Structure 1
């Protein structure tokens, strides 16, 4: 995409959804962090179903430690890899209490030092909880960036770096949400809904059977 096309692409996504939100339910930065850790290889819908009752009871790292690993497992046992995820959540809660006074740090290095937290998770927390213009590249963003020519790359990090370079500053704060939602509901993996895409005329797939 050219710079003019990219500007138009995000302008259309913004017009359709001016204030995009994370679909992971949470009540504060800690519950967001937990939800994102649990969402690895799981759907947001499945995580929300499992955490709804959990987050009514647990909203701080100390409360999570008091619940304990076995108690946490009872809440999240419907989520894939729940055993290892429960261990990580308890371990990161211990680290937050010990090293950060029970607060979630607004710092990438500190977040990535937590058990079960990688770059993508850190990017989500920095963006959603702290309003930083990060780009959390999941499978949806990776697909959209490559399929549309917005920011082609062979790895998530390459796509992230490419997007940070080409997304206009005015759209950067919400860009990763717009792209995730676009990939999840419109520019889908198997049968992209090109006929309802607001930016179909800007896409290199134009004229190619979707």
Structure 2
């Protein structure tokens, strides 16, 4: 995708949604971190259902440590991989209390050292909590980046680096959210809804679905992270 088209791509997404936000529900930076850890291989909707009651009770790392792993499991047992996630959340909470005064560090390198926190999770927290120009490449962004030609890559890191290089200044903070929402609701995995896509003319995807109810004209390349 040419740089002029990249600018227009994000201009249109921004025009439709000027203030994009994560769909995860949280009340503070610590709860955001927990929610993002919970969201691995789970939907935001499922995470929100599981954490609403939890977050009424637990607002700080110390409160999570006091709650304990077994009680946490009962709150999040509807989420996939809940045993491992409960173990990691309690462990990272202990580290936040011990090493950071109960605060979430505004530093990606320090975040990725926490149990259960990978680069994608750290990028989400840096972007949503601290306004950093980071690009958390999940399955949706990986697909949209490759399918549209915006940022092609065989790995999430390659797509992330492509976005970092190509996304223009005015859109760098919001790009992460626009791309996730575009992939979740319009540029869907099975059948992209090209007939209602605001950026369809800028997209390099050859199997566009231009009529509702139609199927892709050709088999789409694999774009799952």
**TM-score band w.r.t. shorter chain:** over 0.9
Deviation at 1:43? 0.4
Partner of 2:177: 177
Cα distance between partner residues in 1 of 2:80 and 2:207:
39
Cα distance between partner residues in 2 of 1:110 and 1:100:
10
- Equivalences, count: 210
Corresponding position: 1:122 with 2:122: yes
Runs of 4+ in 1 over 4 A off after TM superposition: 206-209
What TM-score comes out, normalization by structure 2 length? 0.92
- Any unmatched runs of 5+ in structure 2? 210-215, 217-225
Deviation at 1:52? 0.3
Partner of 2:28: 28
Indicate if the aligned counterparts of 1:200 and 1:206 stay in contact, CA closer than 8 A: no
- Any unmatched runs of 5+ in structure 1? none
Cα distance between partner residues in 2 of 1:147 and 1:67:
44
Alignment of 1:28-47 (within 5 A): 28-47=28-47
Partner of 2:2: 2
Indicate if the aligned counterparts of 2:135 and 2:163 stay in contact, CA closer than 8 A: yes
Cα distance between partner residues in 1 of 2:95 and 2:159:
31
Deviations 1:13-66 (A, max 9, x none): 000000001000000010000000000000000000000000011010000011
Partner of 1:149: 149
Indicate if the aligned counterparts of 2:194 and 2:208 stay in contact, CA closer than 8 A: no
Partner of 2:111: 111
Deviation at 1:207? 7.0
Partner of 1:134: 134
Deviation at 1:206? 5.8
Deviations 1:44-96 (A, max 9, x none): 00000000000011010000011111110110000011001000000000000
Paired residue secondary structure (1:23): coil
Deviation at 1:205? 2.6
Deviation at 1:4? 0.8
Deviations 1:109-139 (A, max 9, x none): 1101100000000000000001101000000
Cα distance between partner residues in 2 of 1:207 and 1:53:
43
Deviation at 1:203? 1.0
Cα distance between partner residues in 2 of 1:200 and 1:194:
6
Paired residue secondary structure (1:132): coil
Q: Structure 1 residues 116, 207: CA separation in 2 closer, same or farther (over 3 Å shift)?
A: closer
Q: Structure 1 residues 66, 192: CA separation in 2 closer, same or farther (over 3 Å shift)?
A: same
- Root-mean-square deviation over aligned CA pairs: 0.9
* Higher fraction of helix: 1
Deviation at 1:204? 1.6
